[in-house]
Structure 1
Amino acid sequence: MPWFPEFSSAAELARREIRIAGQADPVAQYFTALNEGRTDALEVVWPGEVVIHDPRAGVVRGHRELRTFVQDNRSWLAEHEARIEIMASTVVGPRAVVELLAHVRYDGREVPWPMAVVAESPDDRSVVFRTYCSQWPVDGRRHVRPPVFEPGHAEPGDVVGRHLGALASGDTESILKTFVPDGYVAEPIGPDYIHRGADELRSFYTGTFSEGGGIGLQNCTMIDDGVRCALEYNLIAWGTHAVPPQAGIAVYERSPDGLLAAVRIYDDVEPPDSR
C-alpha cells in the first residue's frame, strides 16, 4: 500500500494545522466545540490538561468531563437559539480575553447576555478557560461566584491605576476625571445598562458609592496590550459592607489620549440591600 506513508504525513500535517490555528485563537476553538457539541478538534489542539472555570458548571477538568460539559452546553445553546457576537479581544503572549455578546431566547424574547472568556495556555499542550458573566439576564438571579484565584500582584499603572484608586476610595469626581467626555461604563447585566458621558457616569458612581466608601477589589491577574487592560479580581467589599469574595473581570479600554474610553464589567455581585 504505497499511498499509506503519504496519507499518514497528510494526516499529521492536518493535525499540526489544527493545532496552530487553535493555539492562535483558543477561544474560537472553544466556542466552536460548544456550538457543535464536539470536542475532537479541541482535544487535538490541547492533548494535555484542559480546565474550564464556568459560572454555571463550576470547575471542569480533563477530556472526559470536557465532553460531558460540551454536550450539556450544546443542548442548552440549541434550546435557547443562542448566537454569539464577538465584541473585543485582548491578547498578550499565551493569554487572551475575548468579550462576547450572546443572544439567547428566554421566556419568548431575545436576551442580550454579555460575557468574557479568558484563555491561558501554561504550555503548548494544555489550556485553561475562565468564563465571567452575570446570570441575571437569563434567570433574574445573582449567583455568588467563589474566587478563582488567590489575590495576586497585578498592579495596573497609568489611568487604570488612577481609576482603581478612585474606585477604592469612593471618589466620584476623581473617577470621572479618568474618562474621556463620552466614556462609558457597561454593567454586566446587559447593554441597556450602559452609562455614557459625565452626567450618566456621575449618577452611576454616586449610586455605587452611596453606602459610604468605595469598592474593595483584590487584584489577581492582568492582561494588558496597551489599549485594553483586563483585570481579574475578587470583590470583597461594597462601601461599608463586606461581601463574600466573588470572582470577576473588568476590561479598561484606553482612548488615544490616554484616558478611559470604556470600562466593561463582568461579574455577578449583588449590591447591598439598602442601595
Structure 2
Amino acid sequence: MVWIPQIPDLVDRLGAAELADALRDPATATVPVALDDPEAGRISGVAVLAAWLAVQDTWRAERKAEIEEVATTLGERRAVGEWVVHMEGAEGGRTGLPVAAVVDLASTLPVRIHHSRLPLPGPHVVRRPVVPPDPSARASDVVGSYLAALGAGDTAAAVAAFAPDGSFRGPAPGAYRYTGAEELAELHDAFFAAGGGVPLTLCTVTEDGVRSAFEYVVDGWGGAGPPQQPGLAVCTRGAGGLIASARVYDDAEAPVE
C-alpha cells in the first residue's frame, strides 16, 4: 500500500487535468477515478479514495518516507513512472522500496501501482492479474529478444541482450542488483534452476524510443505453475541498442527447488 504523491503530476503530463485534480483531492472529482494497489486492490469512489489517501499520508509521515524519482516513460495515452521510496524499515534502519505506476487514460482502471511487498509488514498475498493480456502487445527489438530468452530459459541469449555493463534490478529492496555478464549469467541460471523458463504474457507495452515499459502476467516459472501474478518491468536501451538496465516491479515468487 504505497501511494506516490507525484502520480497526479504524471497524469497532468498526459493532459488529463480533471483526473489529476481528482487524485489530488477526491472531494473535487468531476470524473470517475479508480486505481489498483498491490495490497488494497481496486479503489474507487470519492469517499473510499479520500480515506485511503489519508491513510497513505499518515503512513508516509510515520515511516519518514522520502521519494526518489527514477524515470518516466511517456507514450501518447499512457505513461509509466518509477520511484524509490526510502523509509524506515519494519525492523529499524532505512530501506528502499522500488515502486512503479501506470497511468492509462484508455483504461477503466487508469492508475495501476506495482511493487513488491517484501519490506512491508503483513503476509505475502498473491495478487490477481490487474489488466487482461493483449494478444497484439509486442516488445520491440532487443527487449523482445530478451523476453523470448526468458521464456525459453536460455541464459546465454538473455545475457546477450544486455550491454557489457548492463544491469538488472529486482523488485526487492536492498542490494538486489546484478551488473555485467558474469553476474547476469548467475542471476538467470538461478531463474532457470528449477528447469524451464519464465514465460511472461504481455498486457501493455509503452515505448518512448529509449525505454520500453511493459505490464505482464507471469504464466509459470520453471514448469512449476505458480498462480498467475501481474508485474511491470522497464528496460532502458544503451548507446549500442542493447539493454543498459532492466528494472522489475512484481511480487512473483520463484518455485522451490
TM-score, shorter chain, exceeding 0.5: yes
Closer/same/farther in 2, CA of residues 182 and 21 from structure 1, 3 Å limit: closer
Counterpart contact for 2:34–2:45, Cα < 8 Å: yes
Counterpart contact for 2:199–2:220, Cα < 8 Å: yes
What is the root-mean-square deviation of aligned Cα atoms in Å?
2.7
Counterpart contact for 1:100–1:114, Cα < 8 Å: yes
Instruction: Give the secondary-structure state (helix, strand or coil) at the position aligned to 1:241.
Output: coil
Counterpart contact for 2:9–2:20, Cα < 8 Å: no
- Map 1:156-235; keep pairs closer than 5 Å: 156-235=139-218
**Which residue number corresponds to residue 257 of structure 1?**
240
Percent identity between matched residues is 35
Q: Which runs of 4+ in 1 moved over 4 A?
A: 19-22, 29-33
| Mapped pair 1:84 → 2:67 | yes
Q: In 2, distance between residues paired with 1:233 and 1:221?
A: 7
Closer/same/farther in 2, CA of residues 236 and 127 from structure 1, 3 Å limit: closer
Q: In 1, distance between residues paired with 2:155 and 2:35?
A: 37
Alignment match of 1:148 (pick from 130, 143, 148):
130
**Which residue number corresponds to residue 9 of structure 1?**
none
Alignment match of 1:237 (pick from 202, 208, 220):
220
**Which residue number corresponds to residue 105 of structure 2?**
121
| Mapped pair 1:58 → 2:41 | yes
Per-residue deviation, 1:141: 5.2
Per-residue deviation, 1:137: 2.1
Q: In 2, distance between residues paired with 1:179 and 1:133?
A: 23
Instruction: Give the secondary-structure state (helix, strand or coil) at the position aligned to 1:167.
Output: helix
**Which residue number corresponds to residue 23 of structure 1?**
12
Instruction: Give the secondary-structure state (helix, strand or coil) at the position aligned to 2:120.
Output: helix
Closer/same/farther in 2, CA of residues 221 and 239 from structure 1, 3 Å limit: same
Per-residue deviation, 1:49: 1.0
Gaps of 5+ in 1: 1-18
Counterpart contact for 2:151–2:198, Cα < 8 Å: yes
Instruction: Give the secondary-structure state (helix, strand or coil) at the position aligned to 2:130.
Output: coil
Per-residue deviation, 1:83: 1.2
Closer/same/farther in 2, CA of residues 99 and 128 from structure 1, 3 Å limit: same
* Counterpart AA for 1:93: E
Structure 1 residues 175-194: Cα deviation after superposition (integer angstroms, max 9, x where no partner): 11111000011010024100
Counterpart contact for 2:165–2:181, Cα < 8 Å: yes
Q: In 1, distance between residues paired with 2:143 and 2:156?
A: 15
Q: In 2, distance between residues paired with 1:137 and 1:213?
A: 29
Q: In 2, distance between residues paired with 1:20 and 1:111?
A: 25
Gaps of 5+ in 2: 1-7
**Which residue number corresponds to residue 96 of structure 2?**
112
Per-residue deviation, 1:225: 0.7
Q: In 1, distance between residues paired with 2:33 and 2:15?
A: 11
* Counterpart AA for 2:99: M
Per-residue deviation, 1:108: 2.0
* Structure with greater proportional helix content: 1
Instruction: Give the secondary-structure state (helix, strand or coil) at the position aligned to 1:233.
Output: strand
Closer/same/farther in 2, CA of residues 225 and 270 from structure 1, 3 Å limit: same
Per-residue deviation, 1:143: 2.9
Q: In 1, distance between residues paired with 2:14 and 2:60?
A: 21
Per-residue deviation, 1:43: 6.1
Per-residue deviation, 1:109: 1.0
Q: In 1, distance between residues paired with 2:156 and 2:21?
A: 44
**Which residue number corresponds to residue 6 of structure 1?**
none
Counterpart contact for 1:39–1:67, Cα < 8 Å: no
Larger Rg, first or second structure (1 or 2): 1
Name the stretch that deviates more: 192-201 or 100-109: 100-109
Structure 1 residues 180-229: Cα deviation after superposition (integer angstroms, max 9, x where no partner): 00001101002410000001000000011011110021111110111111
